[in-house]
Structure 1
Amino acid sequence: MSPAKIPWWRSLGSRIALAVVAVTLAVLLPVGAYVDYQAAVDARERLRADTLNRLDTASALFRSFGQLRYSATTDPALVPTELRRVAVGQRETYFDGDTMWAVERLSAEQILAVNTGAATLQQQRAQLERSLGVAGLAAAVLGGSLGWLAGSRLSRRARRGAAAALRIAAMEPGVTATQPGRDEVAALTRSVDQLADALNGRIDRERAFTAYAAHELRTPVTALVSAAELLGEDEASRLVRGQAGRLRVLVADLLEISRIDSDEPAQLTPTDAAEAVRASLAGTGISGLVRLVVASSGPVLVEQRRLDRVLANVIANAHRHGRPPVVLTVDRAQITVEDHGAGFPDWLLSGGPRRFGADGPTRGHGLGLAIAQAQATAMGGGLSFSNPIGDDGSVSGARVTVTLAEPATAPSRDGVVPVRPSAT
């Protein structure tokens, strides 16, 4: 997936912010609950002490003057049941959630009780809980924001590195993925550049070997083919000629690959699409292998030699791996070659042709479509692959669509438009 397509809720910054908020809440919730519990216990003990002080004063006044003060009562019916069995001379307290009671048994028949409401205590606890909630929310928001800022910076560096890695994978020259810093992202992007350098070095060595092998094999293979033509018509001779012919085609393809890898610029000339296709079919001698259909035509930019190779390879692949009839359709800048075989394999549809990645009932060396795609790209166009579906819902063949560039501006005085091929 491209880094630009990653939704924000899956980004590294969002996950770090969420993790910071989760850790903050995980710490604050038990701490807040403990603080709230301890504050409630402390407030209840202060209320108990205050009520006992009031009981002391009320008891002294009642014993000395027989007066009931501080909301004191001697009516046992008003005293909570839990305090009515207090022994003579003993004191007890009881909190029912709303009121703190304190009682003293004056005699077997008489009990003195005072009470203090807990409304103030409840208000203080509610205020404390609100304060703890606001503080916790503020801490979570602050922590999440700081986590988002730190994570977003880290995410931006990772996205830049990933985008650069995609450009490196597309063989774009002069691109590096290394990001500044001394953390894991910087180390990872440096490793990507090191890997890319190693792979590019290996590719350069393979290209050099391919070019060297193709040039060195061209002369002996030509001699071998010429010698094979002098053999008789027996089965062994035909086998030798056939294998020599395959070797000649392989060497020709390797030479073509070395030319493509050398980034030789294409010399494009404006011409009519249908006329260019007819010239290719006639020049390569494959006009009898396809049925040509011209739906519409128009001006395109082509280099005839490259177009010849594109059409020859695509049509040869259709006959090698598909079934006739093979139909070539020209529709302005789009040229479609369609056979009626089993279709392309899934790996080719998803990733395009690979060098030496042949497949099918008749296996080749896997360079034909790769060369065709590279040559079409060099002319500013491209190749696309699909499997058309028949009326019965099954694959009815393989289809290759060659897209050519159309002249957007007037050509130069000599009619040639130079275009440097893209990296393949």
Structure 2
Amino acid sequence: MPRQPAWTATLTFKAAVFIAVMCCALAALLGVLVHVSVAGQTVRDSRDKALARLDEVGRLYESGEPLPRFAGVDPAGLPASLRALAAGGERGTMVADFEGRPTMWAAGPADGRALAVRIDYTQSAATIDRLDRSILGSSVLAIGATLLVGAFAVTRVTRRLHATATVARRISAGDLDARVNDPRTKDPSRPLDEVATVSGALDTMASSLQRKLQSEQRFTADVAHELRTPLTGLSAAAELLPEGRPSELVRDRVRTMRALTEDLLEISRLDAGTERVDLAVHDLGPLAERVVRAAASTSGTVTEVRMVRDATVETDKRRLERVLGNLVANAHRHGAAPVVLSVDGPVVTVRDHGAGFPDYLLAAGPQRFRTESGGKGHGLGLTIAVGQAEVIGAELVFANAPEDDEGGGAVARLTLPEYVRLAEPDDEGPEEQEDPEEPEAPEDPAKA
């Protein structure tokens, strides 16, 4: 079955169809009522006139006087059913064609035969036809006008609904300052319709959500900021402990707490949207190799670097190194060797050969403080990577490699905006040269 066009599902189309169907039904009902009423009255008037003439002709027939030309006994053209009715002793009328024209017949008994008269019904039939055409034309005009007015009214409503839906999508995309601001919700004296009620409810929900998120962001930032001072003192005190297993455990926990605090501060800045990028042009390949070397020197991990095609990108070096470092660290912490970082133009891919990303991460992205691999970590590394990638205008996608592709594994693909060098002025074409045939202007003797 072919798929219906998308516009057939719109409220405007459905309202137009509903209005058209109702108008057609109403016009047909009124047309039938008017037609039946007028046609019935016209038939009754013609019937009364024909019966009156039949009475006059009956008196002429009884007195033996000659009958007029529109009357006769068993005249030609008299409908058989009306002839049989009159021969049976009853009177009746009927509309039928006579010599190609509509005619009203009236017949009655006359010595076992049918005495009949006829009246030209052409004018009456024409009147009914003109009435039917007038009803049809008026119905078409009324339906068209109603459709235009209805479409205008429905379009005003759908335009407001589209505006509300647009604001809802902006809010879901992270723009918490977006509001519908329907003017009907700002004037208490005006009654609210359903669309204004929905718009007001959406604005209220957005304001409440914004307050709650801002409160949570301030709480996270305040907690992380307040923890920095005691952790600094705790770190200094831990360095004074005598060497041994207990002091190593204390120093390790302090380092973990400091790293967590710094991550929380970074996330709070990303949530606040106050980060500013420092763009510069860099070669992506050497930058990625430097990140791998830094990770190997700090954690002792080994990452294979594959250069398919180098590229020049315009990005924030510090933030890009943060993203790649988090991806490489996550691959070693939660995946399995070998870990491979590939550079193919402006696309950097980090892949391990472990169990792959969990389903929740593939469906909704990384979530804070949620890990399912059993390894160390707080689930903040990928969250920071996603936030920093968004700041530098890069696209970070998470996926799992197929099992038949070198054993599967988790794949993080970062796509950066590639830097395109503009053509140098010398490359645009040869410089214009003076025409050698054009003589030079003579020197002004006054300047000599």
Distance of aligned partners of 1:81 and 1:275 in 2 relative to their CA distance in 1, 3 Å threshold: closer
CA contact under 8 A between 1:13 and 1:154: conserved in structure 2? Answer: no
Equivalent position amino acid for 1:126 in 2: D
2:413 to 397, 401, 404: 401
The correspondence of residues 176-255 of structure 1 with structure 2, limited to 5 A, is: 176-181=179-184, 182-221=192-231, 227=238, 233=245, 246-255=256-265
CA contact under 8 A between 1:257 and 1:371: conserved in structure 2? Answer: yes
The correspondence of residues 280-295 of structure 1 with structure 2, limited to 5 A, is: 280-284=291-295, 285=298, 288-295=301-308
Aligned to 2:312: 299
Could you give the per-residue CA deviations for residues 222-266 of structure 1, whole angstroms, max 9, x where no partner exists? Answer: 6667749868559xx998877666544432321221233451312
Q: Name whichever of 375-384 and 64-73 sits farther off.
A: 64-73
Distance of aligned partners of 1:386 and 1:123 in 2 relative to their CA distance in 1, 3 Å threshold: farther
Could you give the per-residue CA deviations for residues 319-350 of structure 1, whole angstroms, max 9, x where no partner exists? Answer: 34433322111123221112233443455445
Could you give the per-residue CA deviations for residues 104-125 of structure 1, whole angstroms, max 9, x where no partner exists? Answer: 3244x34412234655544433
Aligned to 1:24: 23
The answer to whether residue 108 in structure 2 is matched with residue 104 in structure 1 is yes
The answer to whether residue 288 in structure 2 is matched with residue 277 in structure 1 is yes
Q: TM-score normalized by structure 2?
A: 0.76
Q: Which runs of 5+ in 2 are unaligned?
A: 98-102, 185-191, 423-448
Q: Secondary structure at the match of 1:266?
A: coil
Using the alignment, how far apart are the partners of 2:200 and 2:282 within structure 1? 47
The correspondence of residues 250-261 of structure 1 with structure 2, limited to 5 A, is: 250-261=260-271
Distance of aligned partners of 1:118 and 1:352 in 2 relative to their CA distance in 1, 3 Å threshold: farther
Using the alignment, how far apart are the partners of 1:116 and 1:321 within structure 2? 104
CA contact under 8 A between 2:357 and 2:400: conserved in structure 1? Answer: yes
The answer to whether residue 385 in structure 2 is matched with residue 372 in structure 1 is yes
Q: Secondary structure at the match of 1:73?
A: strand
1:328 to 335, 341, 347: 341
Equivalent position amino acid for 2:414 in 1: V
Q: Which runs of 5+ in 1 are unaligned?
A: 1-5, 411-424
The answer to whether residue 74 in structure 2 is matched with residue 71 in structure 1 is no
Could you give the per-residue CA deviations for residues 392-418 of structure 1, whole angstroms, max 9, x where no partner exists? Answer: 8x99332211233444679xxxxxxxx
The correspondence of residues 84-233 of structure 1 with structure 2, limited to 5 A, is: 84=84, 92-95=91-94, 98=97, 100-107=104-111, 109-116=112-119, 118-172=121-175, 175-181=178-184, 182-221=192-231, 227=238, 233=245
CA contact under 8 A between 2:303 and 2:340: conserved in structure 1? Answer: yes
Q: Secondary structure at the match of 1:323?
A: coil
Using the alignment, how far apart are the partners of 1:194 and 1:187 within structure 2? 11
Task: Please state how far the C-alpha of 1:72 moved relative to its aligned partner.
Answer: 2.1
Distance of aligned partners of 1:146 and 1:230 in 2 relative to their CA distance in 1, 3 Å threshold: farther
Distance of aligned partners of 1:378 and 1:110 in 2 relative to their CA distance in 1, 3 Å threshold: closer
Q: Name whichever of 272-281 and 221-230 sits farther off.
A: 221-230
CA contact under 8 A between 1:326 and 1:338: conserved in structure 2? Answer: yes
Q: Secondary structure at the match of 1:398?
A: strand
Identity of aligned residues (%): 35
Q: TM-score normalized by structure 1?
A: 0.80
Distance of aligned partners of 1:31 and 1:84 in 2 relative to their CA distance in 1, 3 Å threshold: same
Q: Secondary structure at the match of 1:171?
A: coil
Task: Please state how far the C-alpha of 1:84 moved relative to its aligned partner.
Answer: 3.6
Equivalent position amino acid for 2:151 in 1: W
Q: Secondary structure at the match of 2:183?
A: coil
Equivalent position amino acid for 2:392 in 1: M
Q: Secondary structure at the match of 1:63?
A: helix
Q: Name whichever of 34-43 and 110-119 sits farther off.
A: 110-119
Could you give the per-residue CA deviations for residues 55-83 of structure 1, whole angstroms, max 9, x where no partner exists? Answer: 12322333334322243232399563455
Task: Please state how far the C-alpha of 1:297 moved relative to its aligned partner.
Answer: 1.7
Aligned to 1:11: 10
Could you give the per-residue CA deviations for residues 252-283 of structure 1, whole angstroms, max 9, x where no partner exists? Answer: 32122123345131223322211211222223
The count of aligned residue pairs is 400
Using the alignment, how far apart are the partners of 1:356 and 1:117 within structure 2? 97
Using the alignment, how far apart are the partners of 1:11 and 1:391 within structure 2? 45
Q: Secondary structure at the match of 2:275?
A: coil
CA contact under 8 A between 1:101 and 1:113: conserved in structure 2? Answer: yes
Could you give the per-residue CA deviations for residues 270-304 of structure 1, whole angstroms, max 9, x where no partner exists? Answer: 22211211222223335734211111223223444
Q: Secondary structure at the match of 1:125?
A: helix
Aligned to 1:422: none
Aligned to 2:397: 384
Could you give the per-residue CA deviations for residues 373-404 of structure 1, whole angstroms, max 9, x where no partner exists? Answer: 11122223231223333548x99332211233
CA contact under 8 A between 2:85 and 2:92: conserved in structure 1? Answer: no
RMSD of aligned alpha carbons? 3.6
The answer to whether residue 272 in structure 2 is matched with residue 265 in structure 1 is no
